[in-house]
């Protein structure tokens, strides 16, 4: 067990200040609940001149009756001598500012960095849990687009963070092969005589176009039927509307035809001769769900698409531990079990004539709403379990899948990284689990929600084959990085991809997951906007300095000259790194970490430009500078590792 003081210098510093304040106020104020509150409000001043940490005083007055600000301030200031970590405190406006004693605090950070090495800053979970993280789970009908890319990067970040902190994590990808979408693809695939992708085209890209073409051709045929009826009725307004919709679809089809001409032509030809292609697709879906062999073509083509997706994930550096096929849930009898159990549930109803679970009664229980994290004000309609034709719905299968995840991994917690638009079905999932008697599972199924990625300009549509793929973005970033590297005279072939994918990850993580990310390809490919490489560059620079200096002469490091200016800022930032990581683990959000690494890099680069490090003539000062550089290097290494960015010794 790592000593807490060692593991987190800033936390220790905060604790000392809080202790000092509590001691100073003990006889004059109500200090019962002050500790937690102080921890909440203790903050870094906006500018370093004010001090290192500050407390807004007026907030304390409520606990100290009959005292004024000045009295309160002097009471605390007078007891500062009690801590060796604090050199002084001064009141300024409504704040009380604390200045660290760089000798004692510096030694604390030094010890931590030296002893922990590249474990520095890695938080330790209080109670290690077994956690399943389900993410990506893109349907096996097209390549990963940038929305799935965001999911992949976020899910991977969460997994890395949880694993590093000591949790047992299993990363799972849910292959959604049951349902209409894969049936459409398989139908088109069959009609085309099971074509293989031409050389040079990845299977996910190729079959993605086949999927879009199949759906679009069927939609056109449906519209043409309606058009025929409208013509018979002489409904001109309707005719006009339908014509414009057909034109729109034809434009999409034309675009697809530019890429896979023969396939599109053949699909139009084949499907026009069919009486009711949509019915055939549905029949195929039902046959697949029933496990009939003639429908195995669905799995066959889904496997091919998945190969392409796996390649993309590998490029991204995202690892998946288990691939769960939705169709296996049927084979294993899990869906049947869920349906059987549902029939016994007290909230089982027939809704519009089909089996459903009704949550009206459950939702009246405020405590339960909170426990199951039902969003405030959200109305939850009954969850329909089975279609009229007997086939199941997505959320029904998800109940079975969730139970499988808990059971197989003996999980304490299941985190589903799923876009915000699925808030309702994810809520229904938890309510359904609860209704079926799986209370522990319901309470520990977490929907990690993130906002969608939108393209600037057009909107994405996989049904029409309109999307920006992860492959395309990373590929073009890779080209851009190669160009830049050539200009700089680099010659390492493996580097550009590592830089490009890190840039992609950084881009996807630098907007808070809960905010819509508007993706602009030209902006993404602007070399000035590539901010991920900045961190990699700074790391390589620090590493290079340390290489030239043959590492840190630890025993010579001393704070006897004091630490001021940028060196002091850097010492502070290095000391704060574990606290940032600990907050990141608590919130499971990347923004604080990214912000901290940026600040650290900015400060380091400025410092690097101002004074020599390895070339510093004074031996003692040189040792101090190298130690600071090592602290920066380690923080960047650990932080970037959690973000899933490649840590490069040279760039």
Partner RNA sequence: GGGCCCGUCGCCCAGCCAGGAUAGGGCGCCGGCCUUCUAAGCCGGUUGUCGCGGGUUCAAAUCCCGCCGGGCCCGCCA
Q: How far is the CB of 418 from RNA (least distance, A)?
A: 9
Q: Are 412 and 131 within 8 A, CB to CB?
A: yes
* C-beta of 270 vs 591, nearer to RNA: 591
Residue where the block lists tokens 């630890």: 554
Q: How far is the CB of 279 from RNA (least distance, A)?
A: 13
Q: How far is the CB of 130 from RNA (least distance, A)?
A: 26
Write the DSSP string, 113-128.
Answer: HHHHGGGTT----SS-
* C-beta of 444 vs 511, nearer to RNA: 511
Q: How far is the CB of 544 from RNA (least distance, A)?
A: 3
- What percent of the residues of the chain are helix, what percent strand, and what percent coil, each to the nearest 5? 60, 10, 30
* C-beta of 30 vs 516, nearer to RNA: 516
Q: What are phi and psi of 519, to 5 degrees?
A: -95, 125
Q: How far is the CB of 181 from RNA (least distance, A)?
A: 6
* C-beta of 182 vs 263, nearer to RNA: 182
* C-beta of 82 vs 381, nearer to RNA: 381
- What region, left, alpha or beta, does residue 489 occupy, with left being phi > 0 and alpha being psi -120 to 50 degrees? left
- Paired tokens of 511: 């907007």
* C-beta of 345 vs 452, nearer to RNA: 452
Q: How far is the CB of 269 from RNA (least distance, A)?
A: 27
Q: Are 573 and 599 within 8 A, CB to CB?
A: yes
* C-beta of 193 vs 353, nearer to RNA: 353
Q: What are phi and psi of 433, to 5 degrees?
A: -60, -45
* C-beta of 176 vs 219, nearer to RNA: 176
Per the DSSP assignment, residues forming a β-bridge with 450 are 419
Task: Please tell me whether residue 435 adopts helix, strand or coil conformation.
Answer: helix
Task: Please tell me whether residue 448 adopts helix, strand or coil conformation.
Answer: strand
CA-CA-CA-CA dihedral for 586, 590, 593, 596, to nearest 10? -130
Write the DSSP string, 512-566.
Answer: -TTS-EEE-HHHHT-GGG--HHHHHHHHHHHHHHHHHTTS--GGG---TT---HH
* C-beta of 346 vs 514, nearer to RNA: 514
Q: Which residues contact 597 (CB under 8 A, 6 or more apart)?
A: 535, 635, 636, 639, 640, 643
* C-beta of 264 vs 600, nearer to RNA: 600
Q: How far is the CB of 48 from RNA (least distance, A)?
A: 10
Q: How far is the CB of 292 from RNA (least distance, A)?
A: 18
147: part of which helix (H) or strand (E)?
A: helix 146-164
- What region, left, alpha or beta, does residue 465 occupy, with left being phi > 0 and alpha being psi -120 to 50 degrees? left
Q: How far is the CB of 641 from RNA (least distance, A)?
A: 17
Q: Are 337 and 400 within 8 A, CB to CB?
A: yes
Q: How far is the CB of 37 from RNA (least distance, A)?
A: 8
* Rounded distance between C-alpha atoms, residue 570 and residue 564, angstroms: 10
* Rounded distance between C-alpha atoms, residue 154 and residue 418, angstroms: 10
């Amino acid at each position: 067990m790592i000593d807490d003081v060692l593991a987190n210098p800033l936390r220790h510093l905060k604790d000392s200040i809080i202790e000092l304040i509590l001691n100073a106020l003990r006889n004059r104020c109500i200090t019962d609940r002050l500790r937690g509150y102080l921890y909440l409000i203790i903050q870094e001043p906006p500018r370093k001149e004010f001090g290192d940490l500050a407390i807004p005083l007026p907030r304390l007055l409520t606990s100290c009756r009959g005292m004024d600000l000045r009295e309160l301030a002097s009471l605390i200031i007078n007891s500062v001598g009690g801590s060796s970590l604090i050199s002084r405190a001064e009141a300024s406006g409504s704040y009380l500012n604390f200045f660290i004693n760089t000798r004692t605090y510096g030694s604390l950070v030094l010890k931590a960095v030296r002893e922990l090495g590249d474990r520095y800053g890695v938080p330790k979970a209080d109670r290690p849990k077994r956690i399943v993280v389900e993410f990506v789970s893109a349907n096996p009908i097209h390549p990963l687009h940038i929305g799935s890319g965001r999911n992949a990067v976020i899910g991977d970040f969460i997994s890395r963070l949880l694993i590093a902190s000591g949790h047992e994590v299993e990363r799972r990808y849910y292959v959604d092969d049951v349902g209409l979408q894969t049936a459409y693809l398989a139908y088109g695939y069959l009609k085309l005589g099971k074509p293989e992708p031409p050389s040079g085209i990845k299977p996910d890209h190729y079959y993605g176009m086949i999927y879009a073409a199949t759906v679009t051709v069927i939609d056109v045929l449906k519209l043409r039927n309606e058009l025929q009826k409208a013509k018979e009725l002489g409904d001109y307004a309707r005719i006009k509307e339908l014509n414009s919709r057909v034109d729109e679809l034809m434009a999409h089809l034309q675009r697809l035809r530019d890429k896979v001409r023969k396939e599109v032509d053949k699909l139009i030809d084949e499907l026009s001769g069919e009486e009711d292609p949509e019915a055939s697709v549905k029949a195929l879906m039902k046959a697949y769900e029933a496990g009939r062999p003639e429908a195995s073509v669905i799995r066959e083509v889904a496997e091919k698409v998945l190969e392409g997706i796996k390649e993309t994930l590998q490029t991204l550096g995202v690892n998946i531990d288990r691939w769960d096929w939705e169709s296996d849930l049927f084979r294993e009898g899990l869906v049947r079990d869920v349906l059987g159990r549902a029939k016994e549930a007290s909230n089982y109803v027939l809704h519009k004539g089909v089996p459903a679970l009704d949550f009206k009664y459950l939702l009246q229980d405020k405590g339960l709403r909170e426990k199951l994290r039902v969003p405030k004000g959200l109305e939850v309609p009954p969850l329909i379990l089975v279609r009229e034709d007997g086939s199941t719905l997505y959320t029904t299968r998800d109940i079975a899948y969730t139970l499988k995840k808990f059971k197989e991994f003996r999980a304490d917690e299941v985190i589903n990284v799923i876009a915000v638009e699925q808030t309702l079905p994810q809520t229904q999932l938890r309510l359904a689990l609860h209704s079926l008697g799986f209370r522990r599972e319901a309470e520990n199924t977490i929907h990690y929600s993130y906002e969608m990625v939108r393209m600037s300009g057009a909107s994405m549509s996989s049904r029409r084959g309109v999307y920006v793929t992860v492959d395309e973005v990373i590929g073009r970033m890779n080209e851009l990085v190669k160009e830049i590297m050539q200009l700089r005279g680099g010659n390492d072939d493996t580097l550009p991809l590592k830089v490009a994918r890190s840039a992609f990850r950084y881009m996807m993580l630098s907007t808070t997951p809960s905010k819509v990310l508007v993706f602009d390809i030209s902006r993404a490919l602007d070399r000035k906007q590539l901010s991920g490489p900045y961190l990699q560059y700074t790391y390589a620079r620090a590493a290079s300095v340390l290489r030239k200096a043959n590492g840190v002469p630890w025993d010579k490091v001393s704070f006897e000259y004091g630490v001021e200016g940028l060196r002091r800022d850097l010492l502070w930032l290095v000391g704060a790194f574990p606290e940032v990581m600990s907050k990141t683990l608590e919130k499971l959000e990347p923004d604080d970490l990214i912000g901290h690494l940026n600040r650290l890099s900015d400060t380091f680069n400025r410092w690097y430009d101002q004074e020599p490090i390895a070339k510093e003539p004074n031996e003692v000062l040189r040792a101090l500078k190298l130690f600071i550089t090592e602290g920066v290097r380690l923080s960047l290494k650990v932080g970037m590792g959690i973000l899933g960015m490649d840590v490069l010794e040279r760039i």
